[in-house]
Amino acid sequence: MKRIALVGMPNTGKSTLFNRLTGAHARVGNWPGVTVDLASARLPVGPHLAELVDLPGLYDLHGFSDDEMVVRHFVESTRVDAVAVVLNASQIDRQLALALQVRALGIPAMVFLNMSDEARRFGVEIDAGRLSAGLGLPVAAVSARFGTGVPEAMARLAKVLDDAPAPREASIREALAEDHRREEEIESLVKSAVVIPERLSEQASDRIDRVVLHPWLGLPLFFLAMLAVFQAVFLLSTPLQDGLREIFDAVRSAALEPLLAPAPEVLRGFLLDGVWAGLSTVGAFVPVIVVFFFFLAAVEDSGYLSRAAFLTDSLMARLGLDGRSFVMLIMGFGCNVPALMGTRVMRDRAMRLLSMLTIPLSLCSARLQVFVFLAAAMFSPARAPWVLFGLYLASFASVIVTALVFRRRFASREPFVIELPPYRLPTLRQVWMRGWLEVKHFLRRATTFIFVGVIAVWLLTHLPAGAAPAGPDTWAGWIGHALQPVLGPLGIDDKLAVALIFGFVAKEIVIGAFAVIYGAEGNALAASLAHSMDWVAATSFMLFTLIYTPCLSTVATLRSESRSLSFTALAVAWPLALAWAASFAFYQGMRALGF
């Protein structure tokens, strides 16, 4: 009976091919010279009855990991008539080295180019005949998942067995002699210089993982952890914000107003009620960014986010995404732009595009500033954190809806692989540096988009000359009135509509726009907002702000990363439609219930 060894790198579909060939006839047995059990099965290969042995996945035949040594010891100590080398056709450039290493052993071999169907979708074209001539080995393109090309490949494998010479065990041992010598040297060094206990004690990471990766408790615990972060952000940042607002008010009354008293009224109003009011309101949210990223950096550095990705992979797979998409969504809580750029780790374009379509729906730090301000103005301190938590849930819900709607259009079969790092105690320096970098990024945006946006809002709310500031006769009043047939059913009035328009430039501008539109800042602005709308209208406005068209920087990133104008248009239009539908359903539903 002939014996065939099945070898390949991890995630090449080797086990899928083994299962397709052997069906339910596989058995697990112990082999001489090998410390682990291997799966094997008998099957006909042309006129031969052969035993197919599924060896562990390996990256390098001459490596020294446990799996690599198992494969090497097997071919050295066991008679092998042929080797079937399984390569991922879509990653052929990184996998040919293994085929060359097997060829160097002098054992008859054949190459199975698996996942050839996926390779063609990626635009990878392989001339199997020319590759076979270059390797000096038979090559067959197959799809183990669908069975395409498998019968023809097995016929070629039968011919390899027909032509196979008698195994030359001495030449194989000679080819692997250097590896064997190095194994002995490694073993000697470890024996003389390293003390390893007979049984490693159970690590704390393993005990924690039994809880946080529990199939039923894992997700609820994750959302509870996020709720605790939101509570801490609100409780710690609110006193800091109040202190900064008092400082800004003192600077205005003690320094700026006396200094600008001789200036013309228009210039004084522009500088005080436009530039200073807008920028000081935005600046008061620096503590929110610092505190939020302090906790987010701590969660990231602890190793918990990788667990969250692993835990959510099965759920994300039902949406056409995977755990990497979840990690990018979490990154999007900080800023959508780096999260979109992070999708470059995905080789499959369909998976990447679907991830890029959902990432802008995550509640970024810019939106968080708007929501913290409105939650503090419209809700009690006991209810405000729950409002923020509800908005995060709404963010996830919008991602789920989007993925379900578009998963067929952007279908992907790319496998998900992630390494779970050990739990680490975050260092204060790392956490502080992360928060400081985000603050610098925020302030840099404040000197560009926000500054220009606030000035534009002031001009719209004060021109033409003679109109009452932010009144119906200003340009802003005209725009807001024109949008009322669309936004009125959502409980969004003329003034809030203007703030949304400038939120397209940068969501941070929404807060500055409030200060200019309402002619107030700090506690006075919060009181004006609370007087102009109730909690239902405020929540509807926050829902719309959460979902609608991403900011200009995000749109620019979508365009550059996708390299598709049509996809960018979809990424702008879809959230706008979804935001309108969600806000309409909430606002009209609450009103119908009598709220």
Same domain, 248 and 169: no
Query: Which one of 193, 228, 261 terminates a domain?
Result: 193
Q: Quick check: is 297 in a domain?
A: yes
What does the pLDDT average to over 145-166? 88
In the three-class reduction of DSSP (H, G, I as helix; E, B as strand; rest coil), residue 245 is classed as helix
Same domain, 226 and 338: yes
Q: Quick check: is 571 in a domain?
A: yes
Q: Quick check: is 70 in a domain?
A: yes
| Count of domains forming the chain | 2
pLDDT digits (tens, 9 = 90+) for 393-429: 999 899 999 999 999 899 876 666 666 666 767 767 6
Same domain, 186 and 291: no
Same domain, 306 and 439: yes
Q: Quick check: is 71 in a domain?
A: yes
Q: What is the pLDDT of residue 585?
A: 95
Q: CATH number of the domain that 93 lies in? A: 3.40.50.300
Answer whether 136's CB lies under 8 Å from 99's CB.
no
Return phi, psi of residue 37, to 5°: -80, 140
Query: Which one of 193, 209, 226 terminates a domain?
Result: 193
Query: Which one of 193, 228, 262 terminates a domain?
Result: 193
When pLDDT is cut at 50, 70 and 90, the band that residue 15 belongs to is: confident
Answer whether 359's CB lies under 8 Å from 508's CB.
no
Q: Quick check: is 204 in a domain?
A: no
Q: What is the pLDDT of residue 416?
A: 67
Per-residue HEC secondary structure of 67-112 comes to HHHHHHHHHHHCCCCEEEEEEEHHHHHHHHHHHHHHHHCCCCEEEE
Residue 449 has pLDDT above 60, yes or no: no
Task: Name the pTM for this structure.
Answer: 0.54
The least confident of 171-175, 371-375, 420-424, 485-489 is 420-424
The least confident of 103-107, 266-270, 275-279, 398-402 is 275-279
Percent of the chain at pLDDT > 70 equals: 83
Same domain, 286 and 361: yes
Same domain, 176 and 301: no
- What's the CA gap between 484 and 192, in Å, rounded? 81
Same domain, 232 and 352: yes
Same domain, 303 and 250: yes
- What's the CA gap between 276 and 251, in Å, rounded? 10
pLDDT digits (tens, 9 = 90+) for 107-151: 899 999 998 888 887 788 889 999 999 999 999 999 888 889 999
- What's the CA gap between 279 and 284, in Å, rounded? 9
Q: Quick check: is 307 in a domain?
A: yes
Same domain, 146 and 232: no
Same domain, 187 and 232: no
The residue range of the domain holding 493 is 218-416+424-592
Q: Is residue 5 within a helix (H) or strand (E), and if so which, with residue range?
A: strand 2-8
Same domain, 182 and 265: no
Same domain, 342 and 391: yes
Q: Quick check: is 202 in a domain?
A: no
